[in-house]
Every structure is written in structure tokens, then in C-alpha cells.
Structure 1
Amino acid sequence: MNPSEDMVQRAYTYLARKIALLRSQHYKRLFLGSDNVMSRDAEIVLADLRDFCRAEQGAFSPDPYVNARNLGRREVFLRLTHHLNLDEAEVRKLMEMDSGLS
């Protein structure tokens, strides 16, 4: 790799990290309060997304299209928990939470 390509690669890596950090901050501002704690509204929305994304269920289906859809939904939920930096205990609490409709 020549110096010019190396510089472009380093710049790309730097920008990709910055974008990921900003994206994570956007997710946190949306779901977490200034005290870094989820509001009840955020808990209800995440519980609904947990159910819709089938986070607690296996994604497998013999139908490849259904299987792909299930995996995609699950990936969305995992992305949310990743960007919110939820630890295992917080994710477990979220999994046990009701949807707020009862």
C-alpha cells in the first residue's frame, strides 16, 4: 500500500469510528434520559420492539424467506441494545418487562 492509500485508509477508519460514536449518541439521546436511565416510555417501546423483533424466540423457520425476515428483525433489536450499551442485566430486565399494555 502506498502512502496515499494508507492515508485514505486511516481517514476512512477515523470517520467510520466517529460516525459510529455519533450514531450511538443519537440512540442514547432517544432512549435514555440525561441520567442515562430509560424512561418508562422508552421501556415500553423497547419491549414492543423486543416482541416484534422476536428477540426471545428462535429465528429459524423452514421457509427461507420467513427465516431471513426473522433474522433481520432480531438483528434490529440486537443493534438497539448494542448502541444503547445495555449490559447483560439490563437486557435481561428488558426481556422480562411487559409491553406496558396490561
Structure 2
Amino acid sequence: MFCTSCEVALVKYTRNEVAIKAFGEHLRQVRISKNLTQEQLAFAADLELSQISRIERGVINTSISQVFQIAKALKIHPKELFEIDSNLET
């Protein structure tokens, strides 16, 4: 929808639970392959341990900024964190 009087686009909120969980599981696999604990990753990424835990469990839909922080801490390109099945059903 578009509000012509206010010139602001109204965007529908979407949340793909399956993709969020798949992203978290993939992050967990990458972290483990790097022999890091959640605590070590959190410290290296300058994030709270609970944040890493929530991302890995698929509880939260993390931000792009945090993805970049996590990728830097893992010493990988951010795109590697998105190497999940793109055909996930919602």
C-alpha cells in the first residue's frame, strides 16, 4: 500500500521462522567448525552471549549489522552465513 497524502510506503511485516531457525543452525555449525564456544564468539563479535544463543536457537531475527560483526569474528565473509537452503517454506 501507499499513502498518497503522507508519501510514505507502508510495508507489511514478515517473519520467516523457518529461515530464521535455519540461519541460526547454520551459524552454530560454522561456529563449531571454527572450534569456538558461544562465549568466545560473543566476545570476539562484541555481542552478548545471550544474543548469540538466541540467534543460534532461531529465537530472534538478527540484524545485518550483527551478521557483519559475527562474520568478522568468525573470519569469514558475511555471505557465508547465508549459505542455507533458499527454498525454505515459511
Greater fraction strand: 2
Greater fraction helix: 1
Regarding TM over 0.5, the answer is no
Decide which structure has the larger Cα Rg and report it: 1
